[in-house]
Structure 1
């Protein structure tokens, strides 16, 4: 075979081999393509979706809190939070610096934080920004920087309702007060949606809502924001003027047990808690703080006396010479000798000697039984976090001095709310009604029914005596008087326990009462802790605050005056 012929055959074989290889390559590509389409389609589709389809949360806003008239006390407003994907931005310190400058953050600190989380895909940078400010940051068009819709709690009344409502944290979870107590009711249920994102993480298209967000439930409180404002203003004025350590005021609606107002001093701004130096300001003192009620407890000593059948309002008690020895101790009437006085005058003059003599005559069982029946020593069960039951003594062996001092409010402790509930028993003709922070809370299913704990006839006699306490025509004081309205109440002053026993220089000043006396609408308790200055007695310090709150409440509630005489009818008409 010639050389040319051999070379021609070799060329043909080479060409054929190339063609076969190309054909095999095409077949292999087609086979792989077919395999991907037919055999691995679901896997590949899933991998593609994993890189483009994302599940995004749908934030649910917290339920609104309103007062009894529908006025908003706590609402959730939309805000935006800036977050970054550290994987996208960790190696771009210049971009992080731009972001830090836009948010007024320390650039070095932010760079360090992002780089230390470089393996993560999500990190908050700034929470709860006004939407316009957040949009301005997004307008910088920095890769890896995004915004998320959130909600922020706003309290229109701010520090006026701070102690009652409490507050929620940055994740909108209740932390204090009624926000905490009803957190499960108020908080919403988040939802989710599927979206398609581009390689820069921006949402290109929304695919589907997987689960709709469910907003929280609204909560209607028993509070009246107008009364709350009134009580707050008057209490704060007295707190500042008296340079007191703290102060509390509680207003209950007679008959229903609803809390119409509850305020404390010092208070705080729930929108700016970072500047609070005294964390005691966060405490709802009207519920959590305990004190010895002093002479406000003599009202219940009088109830025990009348219940025994041994006393009437006119029964005389000899208090001369203004003090009495009890064991190794002394009980005195603050240097005064009231002589022989009636049971009613015991309350009007606030005689410790007369009160002690009654208690020693009755024994501790009778007095302690009355106190327990009206709610002292037990939790008010209002549902408010941190409420305390107070301390009711139960000695194995009762000494005479312990019985005597208990009769005028020493040796036990209570809260302002508990004291208000006890006086509401008298205002409610002897019925003990549960305390509630909810509008019509005691009419709801499962609510405890009122209990009769004192006979109506006994209540009527004690109410008459309490009216005399604040009636100057019957020997009482006029500092708690409210023009054109009858009132019933009792002052109280108690020494404060210091490191070495009772400090004669420090007192707690109190007043507890209800208005109108014969058909009560509200029960009011005022507690001023450690007022400074020469005036420290309850009638001087707390009673005037009661008068101003009670007078304002009667106007706001449009209660018809019940003490309009011919002499003042022209004055009332002019008003």
Structure 2
């Protein structure tokens, strides 16, 4: 048997049928690993250098958040430092819907704590599953919000906020207004001074875990700036007095609504402003929009006979009249002018200009108006603020309505002498009387304490002082507002009873009862205007409905402000310029209130 021949090596030194050499395999492995390492290095370089900011931002977006630092809204005080509007801390519950839906079995517990239906809550979250932030309930009491957080449900968090609270409730509602759920003013002074009161929220960066809980404060981005406080001219004590008396009057006379404005005569500051019906700013749900309206600055009325002192300002300024002359013929109680019957409740015969005020004679006022230059009468009405905004700064304030004098027809001028054909707000009327009380100087009405600015002379001090003395007879025996008397004080004022405008003319059954007055008349400190809309029971005369409200409120206000009396032991002054009743050549009548009856014919 022949031995096998040894295998001959192949030309390349490899044996036939053998695999790659170890050297080649090593080189291949090293090459692959080198390429892989190079790829990893390149990828790392791309991630760490080229796309560093992108991925850092993505990481921060998941764990680093910028959150708002809430600030408290400024407190509103009355003139004596009593808080009228304060901000209280509350908590708002919010959710990260995807996280909550991942733990859907906890939704019933969450719904129970929030006081909502579990099915509706789940649907609410499902519809917003693409979001990371959804409010579930705003402005909860801190203890109620903490009860929700104690459930420790993933994706549920709380945010601190502030809620506005009004200690005086409905009494100051129309002046203050209210804020919305984001604590921004919506009406009243909350709206007018929103920028001042709001402040500027701060901001900070925080790190949150996957549950949304803050685990670390990183840095403060913006310093929080709390809102500034505001001190009003309102006196809360007088505001309560006015509110209570107005409310009682509306109940007694079954009236639809009412307003009262009280100004500080030397400065024009608003000491009180109340309206009824009203609302509770702490519980807006269910309140009517009409109840939120500040009627004292937005609603328009025809002033009726309360305009007569302003007419007298034009008459005395013309030089044609003094408080005692010339005599005006009102004989018969009627004056037929251009087919229109202007009439009084009684036949007063001859009246002095003071008597026209005392008796509130429409005939006398119309006759005086027709002797005046139209431009003078129009300019006087305009100078006293009618047809212009008072510039009080209150949102939604009306300018009223006063047609340009050159467009007046004769009959229009006549009836404008006793308060028809123009529209004013209660605030405008109060400001006009305050001008008379401050010796003819008008101040811009202000709701801010100490903000008296731009006082300007409207009529001469002599004219203004004479008109105030003329108005003293209105509350004297024989005047139309003896019910406005205040013991130991001289009261100067004027009643007004006006038909309300209706479709096609004027209503014969609906009236506006008004009284405007100054006290103490010898040195006026306060002016008050009371407007009661559509009284239905007992009486509708301004002297019987509105004047008593004025007396009761002002009596309390004078006491609170410690204003010294000017008429101890007497009811009225009856000074040298006039007889107490204003009648020419007659004896003072008995002390029986006689109000200015409304004009039965359409003005």
Return the offset for 1:343: 1.3
Q: CA 1:393–1:30 in 2, change beyond 3 Å: closer, same or farther?
A: closer
Which structure 2 residues correspond to residues 293-308 of structure 1 after superposition, within 5 A?
293-308=303-318
1:243 aligns with 2:247: no
TM-score normalised to the size of structure 1?
0.91
Q: In the alignment, which residue of structure 1 is the partner of 2:299?
A: 289
Q: Which structure: greater helix fraction?
A: 1
Q: Is the 8 A contact 1:326 1:400 kept in 2?
A: no
TM-score normalised to the size of structure 2?
0.87
Determine the C-alpha separation between the residues in 1 that align with 2:395 and 2:528.
Answer: 22
Q: In the alignment, which residue of structure 2 is the partner of 1:465?
A: 470
1:339 aligns with 2:349: yes
1:436 aligns with 2:440: no
Determine the C-alpha separation between the residues in 2 that align with 1:244 and 1:400.
Answer: 35
CA shift digits 1:149-174 (9 cap, x unpaired): 11111111111110001111111111
1:561 aligns with 2:565: yes
Which structure 2 residues correspond to residues 30-69 of structure 1 after superposition, within 5 A?
31=41, 35=45, 44-69=55-80
1:310 aligns with 2:310: no
Determine the C-alpha separation between the residues in 2 that align with 1:370 and 1:199.
Answer: 73
2:554 equivalent among 531, 550, 554: 550
Q: CA 1:326–1:143 in 2, change beyond 3 Å: closer, same or farther?
A: same
Q: In the alignment, which residue of structure 2 is the partner of 1:166?
A: 177
Q: How many residues align?
A: 558
CA shift digits 1:8-38 (9 cap, x unpaired): 9989669957984896599569847974667
1:387 aligns with 2:409: no
User: 3-state DSSP class of the match of 1:175?
Assistant: coil
1:453 equivalent among 458, 461, 464: 458
Determine the C-alpha separation between the residues in 2 that align with 1:450 and 1:28.
Answer: 85
Which structure 2 residues correspond to residues 114-125 of structure 1 after superposition, within 5 A?
114-125=125-136
Q: In the alignment, which residue of structure 1 is the partner of 2:115?
A: 104
CA shift digits 1:505-541 (9 cap, x unpaired): 1110000011110111111000000011131100000
Q: Is the 8 A contact 2:261 2:426 kept in 1?
A: yes
User: 3-state DSSP class of the match of 2:536?
Assistant: coil
Determine the C-alpha separation between the residues in 1 that align with 2:425 and 2:124.
Answer: 48
Q: In the alignment, which residue of structure 1 is the partner of 2:584?
A: none
Q: In the alignment, which residue of structure 1 is the partner of 2:361?
A: 351
Determine the C-alpha separation between the residues in 1 that align with 2:306 and 2:446.
Answer: 23
1:402 aligns with 2:406: no
1:515 aligns with 2:519: yes
Determine the C-alpha separation between the residues in 2 that align with 1:399 and 1:12.
Answer: 123
Determine the C-alpha separation between the residues in 2 that align with 1:313 and 1:289.
Answer: 33
1:361 aligns with 2:371: yes
Determine the C-alpha separation between the residues in 2 that align with 1:38 and 1:409.
Answer: 83
Cα RMSD over matched residues? 2.5
Q: CA 1:42–1:540 in 2, change beyond 3 Å: closer, same or farther?
A: closer
Determine the C-alpha separation between the residues in 2 that align with 1:47 and 1:477.
Answer: 79
User: 3-state DSSP class of the match of 2:376?
Assistant: helix
Q: Which moved more, 1:123-132 or 1:392-401?
A: 392-401
Determine the C-alpha separation between the residues in 2 that align with 1:251 and 1:23.
Answer: 93
Determine the C-alpha separation between the residues in 2 that align with 1:272 and 1:475.
Answer: 45
Which structure 2 residues correspond to residues 406-425 of structure 1 after superposition, within 5 A?
406-425=416-435
Q: Is the 8 A contact 2:360 2:480 kept in 1?
A: no
Q: Which moved more, 1:279-288 or 1:456-465?
A: 456-465
1:485 aligns with 2:489: yes
Q: CA 1:373–1:44 in 2, change beyond 3 Å: closer, same or farther?
A: closer
Q: Is the 8 A contact 1:367 1:407 kept in 2?
A: no
Determine the C-alpha separation between the residues in 2 that align with 1:401 and 1:45.
Answer: 82
Return the offset for 1:498: 1.7
Q: In the alignment, which residue of structure 2 is the partner of 1:72?
A: 83
Q: Is the 8 A contact 1:470 1:480 kept in 2?
A: yes
Gaps of 5+ in 1: 568-575
Q: For the pair shown, which has the larger CA radius of gyration, 1 or 2?
A: 2
Q: CA 1:12–1:323 in 2, change beyond 3 Å: closer, same or farther?
A: same
1:538 aligns with 2:542: yes
User: 3-state DSSP class of the match of 1:505?
Assistant: strand
Q: Which moved more, 1:350-359 or 1:360-369?
A: 360-369
Q: CA 1:87–1:403 in 2, change beyond 3 Å: closer, same or farther?
A: same
